[in-house]
Amino acid sequence: MTNSPDVLWQAIRDEVTASAASEPMLASFLHMTVLRHKSFDDVLAFHLSSKLASQTMDARALMELINDALHADPQIAISARADIQAVRDRDPACKAYSTPLLYFKGYQAIQCYRVANWLWREGREALALHLQNRISEVFAVDIHPAANIGKGILLDHGTGFVVGETVVIDDDVSILQEVTLGGTGKETGDRHPKIRSGVLIGAGAKILGNIEIGAGAKVGAGSVVLEPVPSHVTVVGVPARIVGVCEQTQPAQAMDHRILKED
C-alpha cells in the first residue's frame, strides 16, 4: 500500500517465527496460517476463513470473499490494524501483536463483522446475514452487519456481545464481554445506541434504545442504561444512574473499571 516498511507485519512475522521455532506443536499451524503468506492482509483473509468455514461454506470461497472485501474497501485493513494496536495498548494480558490476530475471538469477530458490513453496504444482504449467523456460532458474538463500527476497538473476550442494526460505535472504544447494544420496541427505524469516542463499557452492561453515550463516558459493569449518558461521566446500576465525573479523559484507554469514591 505504501513504500514505508510494514512495521506491524514485520513484528507479527518475528513473533510467529520465534513461536514456531520454540513450540513444535504450533509450527504446522503457524506456517500454514502466517509464515507462508506475503502480507498482513493475506493472513487476515486466510485465518478468518479458517474460523468461518463450515460444511456449508467452503473455506476457499470465504477466503476469496474476504480478499474481495479487503481490496474493495481499504478501510477494513486499516481498522483491523488499528484494532490490534488497541488490544496491545489496553489489554495487559496481551503481550504480542500476533496474539489478537491469532487467538482473541473478540478481535476476530470484529474483523469478520467488517467483511459482513462491506457486503451489506454492497447490497448483498443475504450473504451478510449468513456471515452474521456464522460469526455468532463461532465466536458467540452477534453483530448486525448494518451496524457502524469505527476503528481502534477493543472487544475484550467477546462472548455474548450483541449489537443491533442501527448501532454506531465511534473510534477508540473499549467494550468488555456480554455487552448488549440493543433496541427497544418493534419500530424499524433508528432505534439503537450511539457510542461516542473514548467510551468504556464494562462487562455485562446492557444499553438499550436510541440513546447517546457521550465521549469519554464510562458504563459500569452490569449496568442497564436506558437514558442518554453525558460525556465524561460514570454511570452505574440497574437501571444506571450518574455517579460522578469520570476521572480519566479516555476511559477506553485507561480500562479502569472501578467506580469513583463518592459512589
Among 5, 55, 261, 262, binds its own copies (CB under 8 A): 55
Instruction: Give least dist CB 181 to its own copies, A.
Output: 10
DSSP code for 31: I
Q: Which is nearer to its own copies, 141 or 169 (CB)?
A: 141
Instruction: Could you list the beta-strand ranges (E) of the chain.
Output: 142-143, 148-149, 154-155, 162-163, 168-169, 174-175, 180-182, 194-195, 200-201, 206-208, 212-213, 218-219, 224-225, 233-236, 241-245
Among 130, 168, 214, 230, binds its own copies (CB under 8 A): 130
Of 131, 119, 113, whose CA–CA distance to 181 is shortest? 113
Cell of 54: 463450515
Asked whether position 19 contacts its own copies by CB under 8 A, the answer is yes
Q: Which is nearer to its own copies, 214 or 222 (CB)?
A: 222
Asked whether position 138 contacts its own copies by CB under 8 A, the answer is yes
Asked whether position 190 contacts its own copies by CB under 8 A, the answer is no
Among 97, 118, 120, 139, binds its own copies (CB under 8 A): 139
Among 180, 194, 229, 235, binds its own copies (CB under 8 A): 180
Instruction: Give least dist CB 5 to its own copies, A.
Output: 21
Asked whether position 263 contacts its own copies by CB under 8 A, the answer is yes
Q: Which is nearer to its own copies, 4 or 95 (CB)?
A: 95
Asked whether position 49 contacts its own copies by CB under 8 A, the answer is yes
For the segment 233-252, give every residue that binds its own copies (CB under 8 A).
236-239
How would you class 242 by CB atoms within 10 Å of its CB: exposed for 0-12, middle for 13-18, buried for 19 or more?
middle
- Binding mask 56-95 toward its own copies (x if CB under 8 A, else -) reads xxxxxx-x-x------------------------x-xx--
DSSP-derived 3-state class of residue 236: strand
Asked whether position 99 contacts its own copies by CB under 8 A, the answer is yes
DSSP-derived 3-state class of residue 191: coil
Asked whether position 29 contacts its own copies by CB under 8 A, the answer is yes
161/48 Cα distance (integer angstroms): 18
165 close to 146: Cβ distance less than 8 angstroms: yes
CA distances from 244 to 37, 52, 196, 204, 231 (A): 50, 43, 18, 20, 11
83/154 Cα distance (integer angstroms): 6
Among 111, 132, 234, 250, binds its own copies (CB under 8 A): 132
